[in-house]
Structure 1
Amino acid sequence: MTMQMPCLKNADTPRFKRWGLWLGACLLSQAQLGFAADLVTTDTAFEVLQKQAQQWAASHPSFQGKQVQVAPLDPRITVQNCQQTMQFEQPFSNQPALRVRCAQPAWQLFVNLNTGQAFAPVNRANAGAPVLHKVLVSKELLKRGTVITPAMFSVAEMPAAGMENQIISDIKIIKNMELVRDLTPNTPLRSYDVKNAVLVKRGQEVQVTAGEGQGFSITMRAEALQDGGWGEQIRLKNVESGRSLQGVITGPNAAKLR
C-alpha cells in the first residue's frame, strides 16, 4: 500500500503560512538536537583507566605531587570496560608499575605510570657516554607462562634508554611471578613481562592452615573455588564438611584462613 501526503488547500492563507513556519522551526530544532547528540562522546575504557589511575596516584605516597600518565599498552592488550571502580595496587615498591583489577567483569592487568619528574643536570664531561643500569637478564629462553625464579636470571649492566621506569633490577620482587610472553636469552626483564603466578587453580585441592601465631595450628583439605596468585584471597570449600571458607594463598596449592 502506498501512502500519500495530503495536499493542503488554501496553503497561502496566513493561518497556513504561520503553521508552516512553526513546523519548519520545529524540524530545524530537532535536527540541531540530533546533531548535538552526535557530538557527545564517551571516554574509552583506556581513558577511564587513565583517569582512575591518576586519582589513585594523587593520594598515594609514591606519586603525590607528580604528574602521572599511564604508559601506552601493548597493542595486543585490550582494556575491557569495567562496570565498577577499578582497584589499584603497586606490587613493586621501587617500580612505577601498577596492578589494575576489575571485579565486574573480572580481569586484571599491569600498567606502567610515566611520572613527570625533573631530571638532574647533564654532566658535560660524560655527556657522550651512555648511562648504564643494572638489569635482570634471562640466562636462557623462557616460555610464556613459566613461573620464574632468581636462578633463571643474572644481573647485567646495559643502557636502558626509554625504559628506565620499566626495568626490574631487584631479584627479590620476581618471586611467585610468571611470564606473560616469551623471553629470549640476555633480554632485560621488564615490569610488563610478568604477572602474579597462578599458584592455585579452581577445582584443585588446597592445604589450608589455621591458627598460626596463636599457639596452635590446624591443617585441613579444601577445594579451590577460583584461581589465585600469592597473597590473593580466594573462596574455598572444606572437603569434609562442605563449609565455605575464605583463604589467602601462601604458595602452590597452599593457603591460610582469612
Structure 2
Amino acid sequence: MTKPAVAFAANPTPKAQAILRTLSARYRSVPVADADVIVALGGDGFMLRTLHSVLKHGLPVYGMNAGSLGFLMNDYAEDDLLERIEAAELVELHPLRMRAHAIDGSYTEALAINEVSLLRQTYQAAKLAIQIDGKPRMTELVCDGILVATPAGSTAYNLSAHGPIVPIDSDILCLTPISAFRPRRWRGALLPHDAHVEFIVDDPAERPVSATADNLEVRDVSRVEVQEDRNLTLRLLYDPGHNLAERILAEQFEA
C-alpha cells in the first residue's frame, strides 16, 4: 500500500522548528500541491492558522503538539508517523462566515473556525441588539461583548466566558455574552447550526465595538452578521481514542 504523501508545516518557534528538522530528516516532505495530508507542528493557534491556509486545498491536517496546551493536536512522537496518519480518525468541521460592517460604510468578510466575537473598544460598555434569522430576540444587551462559537470552539474563548461545551457533532452554535450587565442573569443561548445571527451596535461612534473572526479583527463596526458556511469543510485527523469528540467530552469532567 502506498504511504500518504506528507507536507510539513511548522510554527516558527525554536521547539517546532527543531521537531521539523527531526521529522524532515526521517520522512520525505512534498510540496502542498503534491501532498495527501499536512502535518502541522505547533500549538492550537498554529493549528488554526494552518486550517485557514489549507481551506483552498481541501487537505486533511494531522497536528502534533509542539506548543503548550495542544487541545487540537495529537501527542508528539517521532516514530511511526505515516502509520499513525493511516490509522487516524477523521473529524469534519464547518467554519463560521463573518460579515462585519464598519461605520465608514465598508465591510469585511472572514472565516472563523473557533468563534466570532464582538468586544467593546473603550471603557464604555457595548450596547447591542440581537436578531436571529431576521427576528429581533434582544433589543439591548449591555456588555463587554458577545461571541458565537462552533462546537470545536466551545472549549476555547466560549468556555472562558462561561459558555457551554457542546459535542463536536451536535449541529449547535453557542451564543455567549461576555460580562453581561443587562439583562443581569442572561447566560446566552444555543442555536441551530444554520441560524443567521446579526448584531446591531447601538451608537457605534460613541461606544465603539470591534469584531474578530479567530485572529482577524475589524474595528469600529456598526453591524455584524454570522452564519455557518456548510459549503466549506475542514478535515482533521486524530489518533484513535483521542479524537476531538473524546477531548470535548473529557473536558466537561476536568476539575
Name the TM-score class by shorter chain.
under 0.3
Q: Which has the larger radius of gyration?
A: 1
TM-score normalised per structure 1 = 0.24
Higher relative strand content? 2
Q: More relative contact order in 1 or in 2 (CA 8 Å, sep 6+)?
A: 2
TM-score normalised per structure 2 = 0.24
